[in-house]
Amino acid sequence: MRLARRGFTLIELIVVIVVIGIIAAIAIAKFVSVKEAAYVASMKSDLRNFALYEQFYATDNGGSYFSGNGVSEGFKPTTDVTVLATDDPGPPPNWQATATHAKTPKTCTIGVTSSSSWTIVCP
């Protein structure tokens, strides 16, 4: 006659722990890439907004652009994002800006190709 089993065997417990570990590893890898994409998205958004500030400034100042972070012109970036611009008086006048995020080593840049066309690059 067979006795009733109480509890789990060691093999069963090890298999469950391994399966949970594999699932956790997959989930963590997914979340890391999502966070990185969110940081890049916030940098891109700030660069688009910065481009508008540059265009408004140029409209008010005879076509010249500003350098720096744009704070004195009213630009406020997202938390942990830093945007720095450099201008080239030309001719024709143009500018370029770089955005960095405090929580990622990636950077995004934007450059003006014409008064109404911008190119954002995030490697």
| Burial class of residue 54 (count of CB atoms within 10 Å of its CB; 0-12, 13-18, 19+) | buried
Mean pLDDT of 6-29: 91
Tokens 């970036």 correspond to 77
Tokens for 102, please give them.
Answer: 């405090």
Query: 3-state class of 66 per DSSP?
Result: coil
DSSP 8-state symbol, 98? E
Break the chain into its structural domains and give their ranges.
10-121
Question: How many whole angstroms separate alpha carbon 101 and alpha carbon 49?
Answer: 16
State pLDDT tens for residues 61-92: 887 888 888 888 888 999 999 999 988 877 77
What radius of gyration, in Å, describes the C-alpha atoms of the chain?
Answer: 26
Q: Is the pTM of this model over 0.75?
A: no
